[in-house]
Amino acid sequence: MTTVMIQEARARVTPGIFADMPDAAATALPSGESAEAALAFLTEMSPDLRGAAILGPAGEVLAATGEEPERWGEDAAVLFAAADAAEGAPVEQVHIATEQGEVFAIRNAGLTAVTVTDRFALASLMLFDMRSTLRRLADAA
Amino acid sequence: MPPKPHRVLLDRVSVYADEAAAFMRRRRVARRPFARLYYPHGRSADHAQDSRSGAELFVAAGRLIEVAGKKEKG
């Protein structure tokens, strides 16, 4: 039942989900190389981080850890679809803490960063690092 | 005979460290899963795990945790 809901949500909202960014101000798309470098820097700064991805304005994966980069884009779209639908307004940041780990997602300067950390990661630091990474990346572009 | 000044300082640091450790221990025990959304202008909203929106958020988060996989040791 849940999987069906997710697939429906993905099909329904993916094209528009990243256009709803509260701060969709990015004018140029950062290169894959600069996104990779930004992701490496974020990973370096955050010892609790398990995996992360940086997505472009249309939800395309610019850089991601792990062996399934495309899944980051798909699952981030589902996450933001659920988050935006929760109160019918586009969210800026998402923080979900589960028994298995914590998920942070942030949309800034037209870009999106999604990270997964160990439990009890410091949320304010994590979100600050993510936001500053996206800002630097957008400025560089 | 009064204690040496550096002993007093060390004792005080130890007390603070113990307090911090106890706080972190209590936090680990007491903290439950949550889903928190932040909106522009600083507003935030929590969504319970048993609500419809909360359940969708937790499912989506679970998929991302699965993609991230386990942390590499070392």
Residue A120: count other Cβ atoms within 10 Å of its Cβ.
14
- Residues recorded for chain A: 141
The whole-number pLDDT of residue B27 equals 77
Q: Give the residue-averaged pLDDT of A42-66.
A: 93
Best to test chain A binding among B59, B64, B70, B71 (most A CBs inside 10 Å): B64
Judged by a CB distance cut-off of 8 A, whether residue B17 touches chain A is no
User: B36–A65: do the CB atoms touch at under 8 Å?
Assistant: no
User: B40–A22: do the CB atoms touch at under 8 Å?
Assistant: yes
Q: Give the residue-averaged pLDDT of A12-39.
A: 66
Minimal CA separation from A48 to chain B, in Å: 9
pLDDT > 60? residue B72: no
Instruction: For B42, name the nearest residue in chain A, comparing CA atoms only.
Output: A92
The whole-number pLDDT of residue A101 equals 93
> How does pLDDT run across A69-117, given as a tens digit for each residue?
999 999 999 999 999 999 999 999 999 999 899 999 999 988 999 999 9
User: Please, which pLDDT band fits residue A32 given cuts at 50, 70 and 90?
Assistant: confident
Average pLDDT, chain A: 84
CA distances for B20 relative to A46, B13, B24, angstroms = 21, 11, 6
Phi-psi region of A110 (alpha: psi -120 to 50; beta: other; left: phi over 0): left
Q: How far apart are CA A138 and CA A128, in angstroms?
A: 15
pLDDT > 60? residue A34: yes
> How does pLDDT run across B18-61, given as a tens digit for each residue?
999 998 888 777 778 999 999 998 899 999 988 999 999 999 99
The whole-number pLDDT of residue A21 equals 53
User: Please, which pLDDT band fits residue A6 given cuts at 50, 70 and 90?
Assistant: low
The whole-number pLDDT of residue A103 equals 97
Closest alpha carbon to B55 in B47, B66, B63: B47
Q: How far apart are CA A3 and CA B60, in angstroms?
A: 10
Q: Domain-by-domain residue ranges, chain B? A: 1-31, 33-74
Closest Cβ–Cβ partner in A72, A91, A100 for B67: A72
Q: How far apart are CA B21 and CA B29, in angstroms?
A: 12
CA distances for B19 relative to A28, A85, A123, B29, B48, angstroms = 49, 41, 21, 15, 30
Q: Which domains does chain A have, with CATH numbers?
A: 2-140 (3.30.450.30)
User: B69–A97: do the CB atoms touch at under 8 Å?
Assistant: no
Judged by a CB distance cut-off of 8 A, whether residue A51 touches chain B is yes
Judged by a CB distance cut-off of 8 A, whether residue A140 touches chain B is no
Phi-psi region of B41 (alpha: psi -120 to 50; beta: other; left: phi over 0): left
